[in-house]
């Protein structure tokens, strides 16, 4: 069980891995660059929608081809590298009560705003003219709240989807 066994399971950075990574990056870049270019061309809405859809479908197919080119070992290698990097900067397991409360507020405000904005759009200044900043702000706030809430919150969310999961309430000690 030495280090040599761990490194032997990692694929060498051969042509398959390099080609797969290049295809995967290209599958992400094509829609990010291509769709704004298509919309800037000033062609009809039908042609813009058709070209944008083709770019998205092509990017999805290219992503699948990238995984096929990399192979199972290459895909597992990339996945462990990416998730290892993200775990390093991910939320801590436990957080303070203040941070948890603030995270819950950050989590619920965008959800409540999304529900209320449908019915009260005329009462929110600037919402009907330009709703995109409100939507982006809510999405960013919701994502930031997941990091603010910590790793235990992810387990609580996950437990919602597991039938056999239960709840364990801790009792406070009387002072």
Which tens digit of pLDDT belongs to each residue from 62-85? 988 988 888 888 878 877 887 787
Domain positions in the chain are: 10-88, 97-159
Does residue 2 carry a pLDDT above 50? no
Q: pTM for the complete prediction?
A: 0.48
pLDDT of 172: 63
Distance CA 101, CA 93 (A): 15
Distance CA 73, CA 63 (A): 16
Q: Minimal CA–CA distance to 137: which of 108, 112, 110?
A: 110
pLDDT of 75: 77
């Amino acid at each position: 069980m030495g280090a040599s066994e761990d490194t032997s399971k990692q694929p060498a950075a051969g042509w398959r891995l390099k080609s797969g990574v290049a295809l995967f990056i290209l599958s992400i870049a094509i829609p990010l660059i291509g769709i704004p270019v298509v919309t800037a061309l000033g062609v009809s809405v039908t042609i813009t929608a058709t070209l944008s859809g083709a770019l998205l479908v092509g990017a999805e197919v290219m992503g699948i081809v990238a995984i096929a080119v990399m192979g199972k070992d290459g895909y597992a290698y990339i996945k462990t590298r990416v998730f290892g990097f993200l775990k390093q900067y991910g939320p801590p397991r436990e957080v303070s009560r203040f941070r948890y409360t603030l995270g819950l507020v950050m989590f619920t405000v965008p959800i409540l705003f999304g529900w209320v904005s449908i019915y009260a759009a005329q009462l929110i200044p600037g919402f009907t003219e330009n709703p995109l900043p409100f939507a982006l702000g809510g999405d960013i706030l919701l994502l930031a709240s997941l990091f603010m809430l910590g790793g235990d919150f992810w387990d609580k969310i996950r437990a919602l989807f597991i039938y056999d999961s239960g709840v364990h309430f801790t009792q406070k000690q009387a002072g």
